[in-house]
Structure 1
Amino acid sequence: MDGTLVDTEQVWWEAVDKVAVGLGRALTGADQPEVLGRPVEYTAGFLSRTTGADFGAVAAALHEEFAVRVRSGVVPRPGAVALLRALRDEGVPTALVTASPRQVADTVLAALDAAGAGGFATTVTADDTTDTKPAPDPYLAACRALGVEPGACVAVEDTPTGVASAEAAGCHVLAVPSLAPIPGAPGRTVLASLEEATPDRLRALLTGTAGPRFVVRELTTRRARVGEEFEATVRGLVRGSGPGDGFTFAKADGPDWVRVSADGRLSGTPAHPGTDRVTVTAADPSGRTARLTARIPVAAAGEPLVPLLRVMSWNLWLGGAAVDDHRDKQLKALIDADADVVGLQETGPDAARELADALGWDHHHAGDHLAVLSRYPITARLGDPGPGFYGAVGARVRLDHGTDVVLWSAHLDCAPYGPYDACFDGLPEAELIAREEESGRTGRMRGVLDALAGGLAAADRAPVLLVGDFNTPSHLDWTADAAPARGGRGPVAWPVTRAAEDAGLRDSYRVAHPDPVREPGATWSPIHRDHEDGSGRPEPQDRIDYVLFAGDRLEVHGSTAVTSGFIAPWPEVAGNDWPSDHAAVVTSFTVRKESPRKP
């Protein structure tokens, strides 16, 4: 329940940590097996043994701290409500099995009922069995109450403790990790989110053959316009039990103007503006189906096709290979970001093509590690066709009649690294800047800006975007006010970002968030919390990925550093939902109409 159906596993961890800190012992990652998925009494015993505090007092404090947090409101996990409703609608009996006490379970049940996802046939709490998780007793009790054998049940769990309990009882297990990673195993399936789970997929766990599924439940297509032919595809987003699966697509619901062909193409000519929703099914040869909802934004006739442009920069971390199912997780991240154009770094030789093919987008891939993706047509490919690991690649993208943008994706050299020089070695500003020149970053940025010069001169007609992993901080971040968080250094006139600014490029994130103290926007690194050398020093968290822009037709609407889902620290990253060691940057721009040219 906690962390599986509702987002309380983090709440439980925070409650235990607060009590532990009060006892003089803050929690660490090594304490997860003693906390996550455990009943109050177990964790109280753990804290009592390790701190010498009275067991009864610790248990009471944990009960109170957790109850206060739960009463303030619980939020269903992504996909939980939809899955429970689908199971109920198909008449599949369900049981709630939790290591929480009855009082907490009743609060959660009330929240699920309010969301329209109640209807459990039975509930088993920590108060109902002599031994609770990881012992099999709770699941055996639930199976008896349902009148079924454990082998005919699928247990959905989010912690290693819960998984151990369900497997000891003889249940099949679907694991959806919350805070602690869970590896796959025979009889156990691991998904990133309940959004990927359906009744058919749960049934497939019992039969050993998986039916089809879409990488996401919903997506937004490129924009359509009244009176103009529209086309998109979803055929690259369905998965099955093997590479030989043949899928047939069909339209289950949606407006009359949208056609869905058997090969997964959506097409038609809209007659009215708004946002239309189309439900698409994909059926495998045995008749099992998966569903996807496609949202199609429709502009009025004569209105701009792309009034709001979403631009993303993302380092894929050597193609993402360190993370299981990385390609599908990359697709999900791109779809969730609702990006229109994307600059990629560290793609590896195949990622850009495979992502573009799955999405039905255009792409330009130069060398083995740099690429541009676009849901709108790429009309020109720019830059060196064969850059190395570091360099830049560009593309001209046609957003609409008379509206182009030019996007360059750049990756600059990684060493020596300025934040290490400043925070670990305490180098003064002059030496930091000299080391930037030594790294090659400053010179490489000059070369990139030379390649952009012609486009920058015409940026008021065709806006220019320079995105990428620059492997350097910004002079806009390392200010005097921010110095306490930067090893006492600041201001520092980091030359790479200064050079871009001098060339006329603006930093979209700092336009949206001018204060680097309140909004640091760190993109390095969601997985590196401590430095890799084993010294225990905290890894400097910094903003080294950028979306820069030039041209008066773009106005920043918003910008954010993006990660999602479960992220374990290095090196235990294989089960992460986010398949990179960098956060992405996503900026939305209002696109103005071009001003009439002066004669």
Structure 2
Amino acid sequence: MNKLIIAVLVVFAFGAIGSTGSEIPLGKQIKVLQINAWHAATAVPNGFNGLLGIIEQTDADIVLLSETKNHDNNVINKLVDTLQLLGKTYYAETSDGSAGLISKYPIESANTCCASAAQGSMAKAYIPVGGQKLVVYSAHLDYKHYECYLPRGYSGVSWKKIASPVDNADSILEANRLSERDESISAFLKDAKVEIEKGNLVLLGGDFNEPSHLDWQADTKDLRDHNGLVINWDCSVMLSQMGMVDSYRQKFPDAVKYPGFTFPSANNAVAVDKLTWAPEADERDRIDFIYYYPNSAWSLINVSIVGPEETVVRGKVKKKDSEDSFIVPNDVWPSDHKGNLATFMIE
């Protein structure tokens, strides 16, 4: 989770680096990698090489990045330039916000979308595909009021222990709504509805800083310090009601066997106290997502969690205790989050 105030006055620069590309062809599988770069890949020693390595390892066609900024440095520019030196052409959307993307296929146009400086950051780009457009939204939502910590006995504002866990779902949701995440998702839904009505393909991915309601139902209420609660977290409910599909839960609907935790991730290159914000709790959650809107022009083939198999529980590294499928990095892992890799078939 980014603890910095995010500026979202955005000036776009497009990198059409190398030879001229083409639109995504029909009958093509495309791989979408979503990853939190953790302060522009500066928080982990040799983190930039790790970020570069996982892009090469997954051979992702589109990479959705959050926490792209560290002061005045934007990791996206460096990624595109370095990949070009390695003979790999990517087109980039770069911004002064904390979310962006790179693509093997040309970006036709892009703009900011759906978020203010308080809300976080969301970038929107158009990629031509088979006579249509793939409209990609890369998000890094408001980190404040991270209230999935309340039932675990921690504040989602100060990240300090509170007198006792909060055991009322309504009061937790009321506190959660003090964030700007729901406003940002509301704006996204309004914007995406226009694109869907045009027949365009719609993809949304990023660090939401909020769990999914699909992971906080009766089957998990007595697990992971949920404190007996069923909580219908707003952002995922709103997306589901609009028809957006959570790619991981589509393939792995059982949240007990396949929790798909993305935060906090173990990272053997970083001291564990830098990875945990609730060191006496089981704070594990799935807060990083890839959503898509169903359309006959594409289908979801596969999805995996990307990152180390280990997690962090009560301030200690814990070995894998789920049936989740992982793409384990060959190099240093650059983040305190895990990511997602979704593969789609363009029909």
Write out per-residue CA displacement over residues 3-41 of structure 1, whole angstroms, 9 at most, x where no aligned residue: xxxxxxxxxxxxxxxxxxxxxxxxxxxxxxxxxxxxxxx
Partner in structure 1 of residue 190 of structure 2: 450
Contact 2:136 2:203 in 1 (8 A): yes
The 2-side partners of 1:325 and 1:340 are apart by 23
Residues in 1 aligned to 2:78 and 2:209: alpha-carbon distance in whole angstroms: 26
Matched, 1:579 2:334: yes
Confirm or deny that 1:315 pairs with 2:315: no
Change (3 A) 1:356 1:491: same
Normalization by structure 1: what TM-score?
A: 0.44
3-state SS, counterpart of residue 215 of structure 2: coil
Q: What is the Cα deviation at residue 426 of structure 1?
A: 2.7
Aligned partner of 1:551 in structure 2 is 294
1:391 aligns with 2:121: yes
Question: TM-score when scaled to structure 2?
Answer: 0.74
1:438 aligns with 2:159: no
Distance 2:121 2:148 in 1: 22
Matched, 1:484 2:227: no
Residue by residue over 1:161-180, the C-alpha shift from the partner in whole angstroms, topping out at 9 and shown as x without a partner, is xxxxxxxxxxxxxxxxxxxx
- 1 CA distance for matches of 2:107 and 2:59? 18
Instruction: Give per-residue Cα distances to partners, 1:539-573, cap 9 Å, x unaligned.
Output: 4110000100003123221111111599999999x
Paired residue for 2:283, among 531, 540, 543?
Answer: 540
Q: Do the aligned partners of residues 350 and 433 (structure 1) sit closer, same or farther apart at CA in structure 2, a change above 3 Å counting?
A: same
CA deviation string 1:45-70 (max 9, x = no partner)? xxxxxxxxxxxxxxxxxxxxxxxxxx
Alpha-carbon offset, residue 307 of structure 1: 2.0
Equivalent in 455, 468, 473 of residue 206 of structure 2: 468
Q: Measure the CA separation in 2 of the matches of 1:468 and 1:336.
A: 20
Distance 1:542 1:350, change over 3 A: same
Aligned sequence identity (%): 26
Aligned residue in 2 for 1:408: 137
- Give the whole-Å Cα distance in 2 for the aligned partners of 1:475 and 1:469: 15
8 Å contact from structure 1 (residues 310, 341) kept in 2? yes
| 1:560 alignment counterpart | 304
Bigger CA drift: 497-506 or 449-458? 449-458
Tell me the secondary structure at the aligned position of residue 363 of structure 1.
strand
CA change 1:316–1:534 in 2 (3 A) is closer
Deviation, structure 1 residue 358: 2.2
Letter paired with 2:299: E
Aligned positions, number: 289
Secondary structure (helix, strand or coil) at the match of 1:414 reads coil
SS in 2 for 1:485: coil
Per the alignment, residue 151 of structure 2 pairs with 422
The CA distance in 2 between the partners of 1:385 and 1:476, in whole Å, is 24
Amino acid at match of 1:391: S
Structure 1 residues 430, 320: CA separation in 2 closer, same or farther (over 3 Å shift)? same
Unpaired stretches in structure 1, ≥5 consecutive residues: 1-231, 234-264, 268-302, 593-599
8 A Cα contact 1:410 1:470, kept in partner: yes
Partners in 2 of 1:583 and 1:453 — Cα distance? 29
- Return the alpha-carbon distance in structure 1 between the equivalents of residues 308 and 275 of structure 2: 23
Q: Does 1:351 align with 2:95?
A: no
Instruction: Summarize deviations over 1:464-506 as a string: whole Å, max 9, x none.
Output: 0011111111111111011121423342111111111122211
1:431: how far off? 1.1
1:378 aligned counterpart, secondary structure: coil
- Output the amino acid matched with 2:45: D
Q: Using the alignment, how far apart are the partners of 1:567 and 1:513 within structure 2?
A: 19
Cα distance change, pair 476–571 in 1 and its aligned pair in 2 (3 A): closer
- Equivalent-residue separation in structure 2 for 1:518 and 1:577 (angstroms): 27
Conserved? CA contact 2:308–2:338, under 8 Å: no
Work out which of the two has the higher radius of gyration on C-alpha atoms and give 1 or 2: 1
1:510 alignment counterpart: 249
Distance 1:568-1:437 versus aligned 2 partners, 3 A rule:
closer
Q: How does 1:7-46 map to 2 (within 5 A)?
A: none
Deviations 1:505-563 (CA, angstroms, capped at 9, x unpaired): 11011001011011000000113867978985134110000100003123221111111
Instruction: Assess if the C-alpha contact under 8 Å between 1:456 and 1:504 holds in 2.
Output: no
Q: Deviations over 1:268-305 (max 9, x none)?
A: xxxxxxxxxxxxxxxxxxxxxxxxxxxxxxxxxxx945
Q: CA deviation at 1:405?
A: 0.9
- SS of the residue 1:339 aligns to: coil
C-alpha change, 1:365 and 1:539, in structure 2 (3 Å) is farther
Asked if the contact 2:152–2:283 (Cα under 8 Å) also holds between the matched residues in 1, the reply is yes
Q: Is the aligned partner of 1:377 residue 2:106?
A: yes
Residue 367 of structure 1 contacts residue 386 of structure 1 at CA under 8 Å; is this kept in 2?
A: no
Match of 1:51 in 2: none
Distance 1:568 1:536 in 2: 9
The whole-number CA distance in structure 1 between the counterparts of 2:177 and 2:277 is 28
Contact 1:367 1:387 in 2 (8 A): no
Q: State the Cα distance separating 1:413 from its structure 2 match.
A: 1.3
Match of 1:96 in 2: none
Q: Which residue of 1 aligns with 2:92?
A: 363
Q: Which runs of 4+ in 1 moved over 4 A?
A: 303-306, 384-387, 528-536, 564-572
Give the residue type in structure 1 aligned to 2:337.
Answer: H
SS at match of 1:404: strand
1:474 and 1:468 map into 2 onto residues whose CA distance is 13
Evaluate the alpha carbon distance shift between residue 568 and residue 481 of structure 1 in structure 2; reply closer, same or farther with a 3 A threshold.
closer
Contact 2:263-2:336 at 8 Å conserved across structures = yes
1: CA distance, partners of 2:277 / 2:304: 31
By relative contact order (CA 8 Å, sep 6+), the higher-ranking structure is 2
Per-residue CA deviations over 1:178-214 (Å, capped at 9, x if unaligned) read xxxxxxxxxxxxxxxxxxxxxxxxxxxxxxxxxxxxx
Give the alignment's Cα RMSD to 1 decimal.
3.2
- Cα distance in 1 for partners of 2:219, 2:287 equals 19
Structure 2 unaligned segments of length 5 or more: list them: 1-15, 84-88, 154-164, 318-330
